[in-house]
Amino acid sequence: MCFSVGIPALEEYARNPSCAWPVRLENLFNEALFGNKSVVKVSNIAGGGASSEIGKIVLDYQLFPEGVKKESPHVVIWAHAPNDAGQPDRDRTFYEHLPGFVHAARNLDKCNDDLPMVVILEDFYGSGTYESVNQISGYLSELSSWYRLTSVNHA
């Protein structure tokens, strides 16, 4: 069973791929904006255990999974990487690695200053103190402002 609200159990993704976040987001856009026409395609190029530094390399070299078009996307969503939060040097992580990811995303279409749009999705979950989560939120807010990023915070 796949619920329309919340995060399905991990086992549910293997049994029912339509429960996965990229599929659900794609369906939401196509239904809400295009009357169920298949206009939007969402591809997940994230990998478990990765950080923004690894994400930058994936974008720089377009190491996209099979089936993902090599053409420039219109939107790149960076969702909070728990592995970034766990780094011992957060300043380096948030002032070097994440901006590097943003620059790599924007360089996917070198001839267009407006594409792709980069979205910071601050969906932090997991263990962490209030001070830690608040500090990370501050970093992401600064970066969104500096780089003119769209930012979404669930808090």
Q: Residue 3 above 50 pLDDT? A: no
Can you give the pLDDT at residue 4?
A: 40
Query: What pLDDT, on a 0 to 100 scale, did the predictor assign at position 82?
Result: 67
Report residue 79: phi and psi, to 5°. -100, 145
**The sheet that has 75-79: what strands, in order across it?**
75-79, 117-122, 150-153
Name residue 88's beta-bridge partners: none
Please answer whether residues 40 and 23 qualify as being in contact, where contact means their C-beta atoms are separated by less than 8 angstroms: no
- Residue positions counted in the chain: 155
Chain segment 86-112, per-residue pLDDT in tens:
777 878 888 888 889 888 988 888 787
Which of residues 42 and 15 earns the better pLDDT score?
Answer: 42
